[in-house]
Chains A and B, each alone.
Chain A
Amino acid sequence: MSDGRTLGQLLAQRGVSRRAFLKYSSYLASLMALPPAASRAMAEGLAKAPRQSVIWLSFQECTGCTESITRAHSPTLEDLIFDFISLDYHHTLQAASGEAAEAARHEAMAANKGKYIVVVDGSVPVGAGAIYSTIAGITNQQMLEETVKDAFAVVAVGTCAAFGGIPHARPNPTNAMPIRRLVKDKPVINISGCPPIPEAMAGTLAHVLAFGNVPELDSHGRPLAFFGDSIHDRCYRRPFYDKGQFAESFDDDGARKGWCLYKLGCKGPVTYNACATLKWNGGVSFPIQSGHGCLGCSEPHFWDMGGFYKPVSAPSDEVGPLAAIAVAGGAAAGVAAGLVHRAAKVKAKAAHTTVTVDDLEKTS
């Protein structure tokens, strides 16, 4: 819990110098595509900030999001974030249990009134009086309401908290709700993904700490620094897409040559996330690099997009706003994918022949 000392002072006692702040900020500025000069301001901001109280609420979820953020490889640069925050409540990670755990939550809320951050993973079931999921004798909905009341901001991590996710998939038996639908009077930052990229979670928290404000968000409430480009915009297989060279099955010649996975259902064109650049497991790979199309896990309704192996086609309601963003961002890729000319597709299917972007955009 914060005791009035700054992070700079707290960490200096443990032998962490201001150089470490500068290094961490250079790393984040690079991740978040901030102007490199911003890293000095970020380093100063972090060093002067108090340790941030964080209350982490887990509702209808699978704990994959917690796995992701704690999946640090060794105690170095990437997990400095755990020195910057004070995780005052997290029922999976904290040592306390039962009443002591709930007391810790109330204590943190009282001591950091108006300043603490609530991280939520999991959706909140509101059907049947919200009784489908309860913790410590109260419903998730009650716990959320009670905890966000005096928060500074709410961070919804994972697609379940951000958009409802798998619990929200049709027919949504528990009437699962995303956090933004339930929290109206506090800023809610969505960091979607199933699970979200750990760097996106850490980077967003560090931004809030260093600058004391909410980073710039897209229309789905996601930080633009991590969700500004589609997978397709940054995909290394994109030249094959542009040339109309597609794998038709997972073991054909095109697949072996590393051609575009669009026809095998890749949702890259309508999915906004940083997997293609930050990658996973410490930068080792990401689904497309491992030979499988993107599932679109960071998008609303990803579970109900009509099948993981069905190519994205005509714009549906869900694709609409995304396509609009793609155009605004100067990247017509999402639109082009949504409007693939049928004849061009058939032609390409015939023998992996070349289809240019122009062909694809010549829509009926």
Chain B
Amino acid sequence: MDPLEHAALSGTDEAAMAAKAEDSPLAMALLREISAALADYLETGETAVIDLKSLPMLDADRDALADLLGEGEVTATLNVAGESEVRETGYAGVWWVRHFGADRKLAAEQIEITAVPEILLAHRDDIAAAADRLAASLKTDPPEPMTTLDRDTHHV
């Protein structure tokens, strides 16, 4: 990018941030905390979690923080004892995680600083159970001859 154009852009970014800071000092404070945690993660590999529900956040603060963090490339919806939602923010390594309980009531809301939030990973115990299940079903119930692999070979 042309350095001048870049400077102009980041200038607007800064102006926008300054405007937000006035709107929500809490969001700005969180942004600083996130920035420090992200630097720590790069240096030491230590992940961090910020519990948003424990903070006296108003909707305006939440909106300001969401605006400041922006949207990333990944959004995942999980069906685990109700719904959960994991979104990457505009800053790689900064994730917005929301867990819903009954009646889609927000049960937990966190910012996670990590490569990938743990809840997205399949737990080793679940993988072990799945492997057993799959092996058992192969023994009792031979799979249909037409598999994805077969289909793919046709195309090749």
Contacts and interface: CB of A to CB of B under 8 A. Distances in A.
Contacts of A19: 78, 80, 119, 123, 126
Interface residues of A, number: 30
A25 to B, nearest CB: 9
A30 interface: yes
Contacts of B89: none
A74 B122 CA distance: 26
Nearest to A236: B56
Contact of B125 (A8, A27, A37): A8
Interface in A1-37: 8, 12, 16-20, 22-24, 26-27, 29-30, 33, 36-37
Given A27-B108, A30-B54, A282-B105, A76 B123 contact: no
A296 B78 CA distance: 40
Given A23-B80, A76-B101, A77-B81, A18 B126 contact: yes
Contact of B84 (A8, A23, A74): A23
B110 interface: yes
Interface string B95-123: 00101111101011110000000110011
Contact of B102 (A18, A29, A40, A77): A77
A20 B99 CA distance: 10
Nearest to A12: B129
A27 B119 CA distance: 13
A29 B110 CA distance: 11
Contacts of B81: 16, 20, 23-24, 76-77, 80
Interface string B73-99: 000001011101000000000000101
Contacts of A22: 118-119, 123
B53 interface: yes
A102 interface: no
Bin chain B's interface residue count: 20 to 34
A257 interface: no
Given A12-B126, A17-B126, A19-B78, A26 B54 contact: no
A17 B78 CA distance: 12
Contacts of B125: 8, 12, 18, 47
Interface string A109-149: 00000000000000000000000000000000000000000
A324 interface: no
Contacts of A283: 105
A72 B82 CA distance: 13
Given A19-B123, A30-B108, A40-B118, A74 B80 contact: no
Interface string A40-68: 10000001000000000000000000000
B136 to A, nearest CB: 13
A77 B126 contact: no
B55 to A, nearest CB: 11
Contacts of A37: 49
B103 A282 contact: yes
A76 B82 contact: yes
Nearest to B53: A30
B123 A77 contact: no
A29 B82 contact: no
Nearest to A24: B81
A188 to B, nearest CB: 28
A33 B54 contact: yes
Interface of A: 8, 12, 16-20, 22-24, 26-27, 29-30, 33, 36-37, 39-40, 47, 72-74, 76-80, 282-283
Given A17-B126, A30-B51, A78-B102, 7 more contacts: A16-B81, A19-B126, A22-B119, A76-B101, A77-B81, A77-B99, A283-B105
Interface of B: 49-51, 53-54, 78, 80-82, 84, 97, 99-103, 105, 107-110, 118-119, 122-123, 125-126, 129
28 contacts: A12-B125, A12-B126, A12-B129, A17-B122, A17-B126, A19-B78, A22-B118, A23-B80, A23-B81, A24-B81, A26-B97, A26-B108, A29-B51, A30-B51, A30-B53, A30-B107, A30-B108, A33-B54, A36-B50, A36-B51, A37-B49, A47-B125, A73-B102, A77-B82, A77-B107, A282-B103, A282-B105, A283-B105
The 5 closest A-B pairs by CB, nearest first: A18-B123, A36-B49, A73-B102, A77-B101, A76-B82
